[in-house]
Amino acid sequence: MKRKVLLMGASGSGKTSMRSLIFSNNPASLTERLGATIDVEQNHVRFLGDLILNLWDLGGQDSFMDSYLTTQRTTIFQQVGVMIYVFDVETREMGKDLEYFRDCMASLKQYSPDAAVFLLIHKMDLVREPRHLTFQKKKQELEEASGDTKVNIFGTSIYDESLYKAWSNIVHTLIPNATILSKHLNTFAGACNATEVILFERTTFLVIATSASSPSSPSLTPGSEDNTETEPLNPKRYERTSELIKAFKHSCSRVREEFRSLEMELYDFTAVLDEMTRNTYVLIIVHDPTIETAALKLNIRLARSKFE
């Protein structure tokens, strides 16, 4: 199954940078060397089992934008699953950016009315504190420009975990059986007596599903009442884990080692991160010191066939 994803926005807004970070395991510092994208760069990324992301990175220079909206309009905007539109938060040309954005939304509505729309207010690291005020102002501006189309808006930066949060939400909309996966993870969490179980995609380390109800839910796993006295779980833990593991994988590749799995036994919790299927990794968090990591690894092995 192939899902088409458009990555659009003005030239220099950061599209190719985020693609390289998420899909190629490159560090943020390398993005400064990226040249402008000429016309359209198409990539196929095998994501989960049969799911292939057909990612269209569309160069944002005006002449290309004009061509997408005229001669190439049908080709670009038909059969789109998700359109991601990136705005540089510091742009001096918001008027022009919004004009192109409105034209793209109109074309999308005509050729792919069911496509999901994600708007990223990008390079948030450049904004001086308080960032949330700038974000709210931009968000409102974008909602007004979107008219009656439902849009999902995120503030992002390649220098922190916010990019992983946005992209995890994006891929979540593309995975057909996400709710079933969450259900299986809940059962698996119960079997391991785990506080939480998280499923990551192998290459991107984006969160696919969690044993809690949604990828952004900060709540504890249902049925883990005995954990109510521990500290509340950090709401950014999923995207922080994606970011940290990606950085760790990059360090491993620099010393020519392959990342395989991770085990941690700390004072108040145990964590095991291991391969679940060909395309996924699973992270199990347990707050019960009597449970051995070997038992958790055995459980992963036994559950594998269910998740393939």
- What is the size of the binding site for ligand GTP (CB under 6 A)? 23
Q: Does 162 bind ligand GTP (CB under 6 A)?
A: no
Q: Does 279 bind ligand GTP (CB under 6 A)?
A: no
Residues in the chain: 308
| CB of 23 or CB of 259, closer to ligand GTP | 23
Please answer whether residues 3 and 54 qualify as being in contact, where contact means their C-beta atoms are separated by less than 8 angstroms: yes
| CB of 17 or CB of 280, closer to ligand GTP | 17
Q: Which of 9, 21, 17 is nearest to 239 (CA)?
A: 21
Binding to ligand GTP, residues 33-52 (CB under 6 A): 34, 36-37
Closest contact distance (angstroms) between CB of 39 and ligand GTP is 10
The answer for residues whose C-beta is within 8 angstroms of residue 225's C-beta and 6 or more apart is none
The residue type found at 283 is L
Q: Which of 123, 6, 107, 113 is nearest to 55 (CA)?
A: 6
Closest contact distance (angstroms) between CB of 160 and ligand GTP is 9
Cβ neighbourhood burial of 12 (10 Å; 0-12, 13-18, 19+) = middle
Q: Which of 3, 4, 5, 17 binds ligand GTP (CB under 6 A)?
A: 17
Q: Which of 3, 5, 6, 16 binds ligand GTP (CB under 6 A)?
A: 16
Q: Which of 60, 81, 155, 215 binds ligand GTP (CB under 6 A)?
A: 60
d(Cα 32, Cα 12) in Å, to the nearest integer? 10
Q: In b/e form, how buried is each residue of 139-150, taking b as 16+ CB within 10 angstroms? A: beebeebbeeee
Closest contact distance (angstroms) between CB of 292 and ligand GTP is 42
Per 3-state DSSP, the chain is made up of helix, strand and coil in percentages (nearest 5) of 40, 25, 35
The sheet with strand 262-265 has its strands ordered as 207-210, 196-201, 280-286, 270-277, 262-265
Q: Does 122 bind ligand GTP (CB under 6 A)?
A: yes
> Among 11-19, 194-202, 213-221, 296-304, which window interacts with ligand GTP (CB under 6 A)?
11-19
Q: Which of 25, 40, 109, 125 binds ligand GTP (CB under 6 A)?
A: 125
> Among 152-160, 214-222, 270-278, 296-304, which window interacts with ligand GTP (CB under 6 A)?
152-160
> Among 54-62, 141-149, 192-200, 216-224, which window interacts with ligand GTP (CB under 6 A)?
54-62
Q: Which of 165, 170, 168, 159 is nearest to 124 (CA)?
A: 159
Q: Which of 76, 82, 105, 158 binds ligand GTP (CB under 6 A)?
A: 158
Tokens encoding 208: 């696919």
Q: Which of 62, 79, 102, 126 binds ligand GTP (CB under 6 A)?
A: 126
- Site residues (CB under 6 A) for ligand GTP? 9, 11-17, 31-32, 34, 36-37, 59-61, 122-123, 125-126, 157-159
